[in-house]
């Protein structure tokens, strides 16, 4: 944390947090030390919201019994079906698939990586890593699973033949990741260029920080060499994929909190071929050109690449993947599914679903796909979708962090199957 | 480290009891009831009714169920490091953890027997307001969901945990408290602890 430049006095003054200034004065700071920032998730809270009771929602870390997972509440378009594919894995988030069919699942708080195998139509899971600090970033290439935690990169060579006795090699020294934790859980994937891509988020809700170190998407060769910044000004991306035809990188990005229920929107972004290393706006410019109310500079949106789509304020658009399978109707091909984990910093909840992003050139339009985790009447949620993964048969897996479950969405064209 | 030696003895005794519990306790746990032997074991330090009389041992009475379950899991998974708690938590299954959490959440918190410095407590009241502790822990500091009850907690335990959050040697299920405690002085930590112990 100490290496991050928070510019806290300027921030506090610009947002008129009188209470904060009074507090920092009372904290008996020694002369050499910087002023204490408020907790990262609370930075930028205006005085008018100081009495707000909004706080992040925690998911259980215990196993949700399968009979308590109310999958029949989920809704999908006509002809689709959704069922529980695997369960009993608290905190299940990001998914990647091995060459031999193992689905690996990362987590945050509970520190585990699960491996799911299909045995005669039934799924079994094993724990291949535990005691790790937020092992959320998973990628698989040529028999090796890469697990990226807050500040570690672990290689599991030949993992699919060693699920009972996994032997990681710690290659963290080749990657030199910052140790600060906030927004520093990773999403990871291997690109068409055979490099490993991952995010390094902003260590705050809203702050000026070292742009060479934070708020970016990076890529490196699998041995850790050749570090490049692929996208800058990216507050917190928790999902990306490459367009199946153009091979361009598309990514989701969570925007700041405490600037109101309806602003700024989260984003779906596209890095066009000539925009590698481009600036996506954080901390000065958000969504489709909204200047930050606290961190100001002249022409905040000058040179900023605008999003392909707005994905809803505070909705927490996470895992996104393009659909290339043959199971779903043809209009789904080369479109993106996005899991929206759902809001906390909003009076009325938003997200808690999977949406379809219909891509048209450099833009995209969203339509609902998998809903029913949130009851709009009571504003209560029972599930939090975080990632999507296409299977070889064209079915779509969806992870639910709240219930530690993976759902399978399939298409048969028949309507009668569900309890619709 | 007389404190630690005493702990080793308690632990040895505890492990013997725990071995018996492992053989007999599974059915009871499924029925969401904590076996008496286990409650006695926990009560050795945390107090029979969940209100601790022992130095630096937290009171568990009235803590939110999710907070209690999360902490036992963090101990079990060695993500919250504790020589004292890890041996007790390492073999607990989820059902046993949920039963313990439900049990202690229902008990009534009592004031700690520790002496309170009223001047420090008054200063702590002011600090708690300035630091917005009540946003998450609620204005009466009763806690909710993953965020613990602070009211009536032991002073020495609150000091120890806030100091650990500041040092980055303890995390919750997220890193919120590490940010909250960044750069807070020892004296302010003491003031907060004295105040919170007095909240009814």
pLDDT tens per residue, chain A (420 residues)?
333 333 333 333 333 333 333 333 333 333 334 444 555 666 777 777 777 888 889 899 999 999 999 999 999 999 999 999 999 999 999 999 999 999 999 999 999 999 999 998 999 999 999 999 999 999 999 999 999 999 999 999 999 999 999 999 999 999 999 987 778 899 999 999 999 999 999 988 888 989 999 999 999 999 999 999 999 999 999 999 999 999 999 999 999 998 999 999 999 999 999 999 999 999 999 999 999 999 999 999 999 999 999 999 999 999 999 999 999 999 999 999 999 999 999 999 999 999 999 999 999 999 999 999 999 999 999 999 999 999 999 999 999 999 999 999 999 987 654 444
Query: Hey, how many other C-beta atoms are within 10 angstroms of the C-beta on A238?
Result: 27
Q: Which residues contact A346 (CB under 8 A, 6 or more apart)?
A: A54, A261, A313, A314
Q: Could you tell me if A63 lies within 8 Å of chain B, comparing CB atoms? A: yes
Query: Hey, how many other C-beta atoms are within 10 angstroms of the C-beta on A219?
Result: 20
R_g over Cα of chain B:
17
- Separation CA B164–CA B181 (nearest Å): 9
Q: Which residues contact B27 (CB under 8 A, 6 or more apart)?
A: none
Q: Which residues pair with A126 in a beta bridge?
A: A115
CB B96 within 8 A of CB A63: no
Token readout for A245 is 């035809």
| Helix spans in A184-314 (H) | none
Comparing CA positions, the residue from A341, A393, A335, A418 lying closest to residue A74 is A418
Put the strands of the sheet holding A188-190 in their side by side order: A188-190, A196-200, A216-220, A228-232, A278-279
Question: CA angle, corner A132, sides to A127 and A137, nearest 5?
Answer: 85
Q: Which residues contact A65 (CB under 8 A, 6 or more apart)?
A: none
Q: Report the gap between the CA of A327 and the closest CA in chain B (Å).
A: 38
Which phi and psi (to 5°) does residue B190 adopt?
-60, -40
- Separation CA A264–CA A137 (nearest Å): 26
Question: CA angle, corner A271, sides to A387 and A183, nearest 5?
Answer: 50
Strands A285-286 and A240-242, sheet pairing: unpaired
Token readout for A99 is 């060459």
**With an 8 Å Cβ cutoff, are A28 and B188 in contact?**
yes
Task: Name the burial class of residue A157, with classes exposed (0-12), middle (13-18) and buried (19+) by CB atoms within 10 angstroms of its CB.
Answer: middle
Domains assigned to chain A: 66-411 (2.120.10.30)
Domains assigned to chain B: 2-106 (1.10.760.10), 118-198 (1.10.760.10)
Report chain B residues whose CB lies below 8 A from the CB of A90.
Answer: 94
Q: Report the gap between the CA of A401 and the closest CA in chain B (Å).
A: 14
What pTM, to 2 d.p., does this model score?
0.86
Report chain A residues whose CB lies below 8 A from the CB of B180.
Answer: 38-39
What ipTM was predicted for this assembly? 0.80
| Alpha-carbon A225 to chain mean position | 25
What single DSSP character describes residue A205? S
**With an 8 Å Cβ cutoff, are B182 and A36 in contact?**
yes
CA distance between the termini of chain B = 34
Q: Report the gap between the CA of A224 and the closest CA in chain B (Å).
A: 27
CB A391 within 8 A of CB A97: yes
């Amino acid at each position: 944390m100490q290496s991050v430049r928070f510019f806290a006095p300027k921030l506090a003054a610009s947002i008129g947090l009188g209470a904060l200034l009074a507090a920092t004065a009372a904290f008996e700071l020694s002369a050499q030390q910087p002023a204490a920032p408020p907790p990262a998730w609370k930075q930028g809270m205006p005085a008018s919201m100081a009495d707000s009771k909004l706080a992040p929602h925690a998911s259980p870390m215990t196993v949700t019994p399968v009979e308590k997972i109310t999958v029949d509440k989920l809704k999908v378009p006509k002809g689709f079906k959704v069922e529980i594919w695997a369960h009993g894995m608290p905190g299940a988030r990001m998914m990647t698939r091995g060459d031999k069919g193992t689905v690996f699942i990362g987590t945050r708080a509970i520190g585990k990586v699960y491996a799911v195998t299909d045995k005669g139509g039934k799924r079994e899971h094993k724990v291949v890593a535990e005691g790790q600090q937020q092992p959320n970033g998973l990628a698989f290439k040529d028999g090796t699973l890469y697990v990226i935690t807050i500040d570690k990169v672990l290689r599991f060579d030949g993992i699919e033949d060693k699920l009972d006795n996994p032997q990681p090699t710690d290659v963290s020294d080749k990657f030199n990741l910052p140790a600060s934790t906030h927004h520093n859980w990773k999403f990871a994937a291997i690109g068409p260029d055979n490099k490993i891509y991952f995010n390094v988020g902003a260590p705050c809700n809203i702050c000026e920080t070292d742009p060479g170190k934070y708020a970016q998407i990076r890529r490196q060769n699998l041995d850790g060499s050749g570090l490049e910044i692929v996208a800058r000004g990216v507050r917190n991306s928790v999902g990306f994929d490459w367009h199946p035809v153009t091979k361009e990188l598309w990514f989701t990005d969570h925007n700041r909190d405490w600037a109101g229920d309806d602003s700024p929107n989260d984003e779906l972004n596209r890095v066009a071929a000539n925009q590698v290393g481009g600036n996506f706006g954080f901390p000065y410019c958000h969504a489709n050109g909204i200047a930050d109310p606290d961190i100001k500079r002249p022409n905040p949106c000058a040179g900023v690449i605008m999003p392909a789509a707005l994905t809803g304020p505070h909705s927490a658009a996470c895992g996104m993947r393009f659909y290339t399978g043959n199971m779903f109707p043809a209009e789904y091909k080369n479109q993106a599914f996005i899991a929206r984990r759902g809001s906390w910093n909003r009076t009325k909840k938003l997200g808690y679903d999977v949406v379809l992003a219909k891509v048209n050139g450099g833009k995209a339009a969203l339509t609902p796909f998998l809903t029913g985790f949130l009851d709009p009447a009571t504003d209560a949620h029972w599930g939090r979708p975080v990632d999507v993964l296409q299977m070889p048969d064209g079915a779509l897996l969806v992870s639910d962090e709240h219930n530690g479950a993976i759902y399978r969405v399939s298409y048969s064209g028949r309507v009668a199957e569900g309890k619709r | 480290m007389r404190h630690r030696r005493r702990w080793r003895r308690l632990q040895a005794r505890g492990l013997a009891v725990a071995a018996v519990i492992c053989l007999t306790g599974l059915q009871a746990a499924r029925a969401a009831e904590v076996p008496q032997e286990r409650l006695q074991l926990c009560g050795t330090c945390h107090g029979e009714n969940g209100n601790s009389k022992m130095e630096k041992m937290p009171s568990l009475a009235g803590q939110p169920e999710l907070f209690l379950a999360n902490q036992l899991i963090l101990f079990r998974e060695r993500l919250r490091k504790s020589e004292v708690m890890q041996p007790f938590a390492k073999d607990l299954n989820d059902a046993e953890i949920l039963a313990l959490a439900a049990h202690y959440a229902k008990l009534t918190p009592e004031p700690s027997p520790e002496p309170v410095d009223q001047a420090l407590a008054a200063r702590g009241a002011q600090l708690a307001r300035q630091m917005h502790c009540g946003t998450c822990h609620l204005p009466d500091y009763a806690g909710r969901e993953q965020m613990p009850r602070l009211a009536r907690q032991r002073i020495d335990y609150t000091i120890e945990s806030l100091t650990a959050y500041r040092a980055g040697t303890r995390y919750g299920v997220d890193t919120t408290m590490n940010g909250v405690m960044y750069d807070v002085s020892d004296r302010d930590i003491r003031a907060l602890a004295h105040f919170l112990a007095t909240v009814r």
